[in-house]
Structure 1
C-alpha cells in the first residue's frame, strides 16, 4: 500500500487532536446533513468517523486497510454509543466494499499521497448518489516548516502538498464540479465536490 498511499500514515493522537480539537465542527462546515449515509475513506482511527456518526443518523461506514485502526474505531464508537460499520478494504475498492451508495464521502489528509488521483476520485464518484458530495480535506500548500503542531513541523512534505486549485483540477477530470472551498484553520482547506449530472 505504501507506493499507492504515500505520506499518509496515521498521526500520533496527541498532536492530531491538538490540530483538530473540534472534528464535529469540521464535518458540519463540510455540509454533512443529519440523514446522510456517509463513508470516511481511509478512516484511520476514526477521529472524523465519530464526528460523522454524531452528525447523521444515516449509515456511517469507516473504510481502511488497517484492521488495528478499525478495531480502535469500533471500540471508541461503542464507548460513545455511536453506530459505525467498519469495513476493511483498500480504498480503491470502494465500489465493492460499500453495501449501498452514500450521500457523503470524506477523504481527510490523504489525497496528497495517493497515486493515480484521478482514477481514485472516479472510484469515489461511483459510490455516491446523484446528489452526493465528496469532501477532500487537504493541508494547504505551505512549506512544512510553517505548519507546526506542539512545536514540531507536521504534515506531508512540502512538495506533496496540493492547492485547492490542484485538487479541483484532478476532481474535475474525474467528473466532479466544485461546490465550495471551506477554510479549515489553521492549516487545512476542505474542497466539496458534486458529481457532474
Structure 2
C-alpha cells in the first residue's frame, strides 16, 4: 500500500513542477513567442531546445520552423507532456530526445539554432555542455542562453552558488569557440546571451 502512496506523492511533485513551468507568471517573465521572434530563426531551420522541460519554448519553436525541432530533456515524463501539447496543436515536427546535454547524441553540424533556457546552471560540466552544443551546431548556427544573473540582490531563482553570472558565461562561451553576438537583460533577474559558431 505504501508503495502506491509514494508514487502519488511523486506524481504530485511532477504536477506541481509542470504547473510552475507553465504558469502565467513565467509567460509574463519571458513571453516565449516574443523572444523567439527576435532570434535569427528561418522557416527551414533545424532547432534544438536544450532542457526542454514542459515545452515552454519547444512549442513556439516548432511553430516557427517547417523543419525539425529536437526537444532534449532527460525526464521522459516532461517529454511525453510536450508530445501531448504538440498533438493538441497539430505539430508533427518535434523529435523527443531523452538525454542529458553532456551525452548529446544528435549529429554534428546539424542544428541551425539552439536554445538553452535556465538549464546551464544545472549541468554537471558547463564546458562539456557548451562544447556539445557547439559540435551539433552548423557553421553560422546560433545558441541563445537564458540564465539568472549572479547578483546577491536578486532572491528569486536558483541558489546563488549554482548560478552562472553573465560575465562567466560569456567567458565560457568564448573559450568554447563561440563568438558573442549580443547580451540582453530581460529583467532584473534574467539575461540572455546570443552566440554564434563562426566558420574557420
Per chain length, whose mean CA-contact separation is higher, i.e. which structure has more relative contact order (CA < 8 Å, sep 6+)?
Answer: 1
Q: Show CA shifts across 1:88-118 (max 9, x none).
A: 1222222x23597010011110112223211
Name the CA shift for 1:161/1:46 in 2 (closer, same or farther; >3 Å).
same
Q: Which has the larger radius of gyration?
A: 2
How far apart, in 1, do the equivalents of 2:126 and 2:108 lie?
23
* Structure with greater proportional helix content: 2
Residues 1:146 and 2:148 aligned together: no
Residues 1:19 and 2:26 aligned together: yes
Q: Unpaired segments of 5 or more residues in structure 2?
A: 1-13
Q: Which residue of 2 aligns with 1:89?
A: 99
Q: 1:175 aligns with which of 177, 183, 196?
A: 177
Alpha-carbon RMSD across the aligned residues, in angstroms, is 2.3
Q: Show CA shifts across 1:140-180 (max 9, x none).
A: 2233x635xxxxxx311022222221111001111111011
Q: Which residue of 2 aligns with 1:55?
A: 64
The SS at the match of 2:183 is strand
* Count of matched residue positions in the alignment of Structure 1 and Structure 2: 181
Q: 1:34 aligns with which of 43, 46, 49?
A: 43
Contact 1:24–1:54 (Cα < 8 Å) also in 2: no
TM-score, reference length from structure 2: 0.81
Q: Unpaired segments of 5 or more residues in structure 1?
A: 1-8, 148-153
Q: Which residue of 1 aligns with 2:8?
A: none
The SS at the match of 2:57 is helix
How far apart, in 2, do the equivalents of 1:125 and 1:179 lie?
15
TM-score, reference length from structure 1: 0.82
* Offset, 1:15: 6.3
- For structure 1, which segment, 23-32 or 106-115, has the greater mean C-alpha deviation from structure 2 after superposition? 23-32
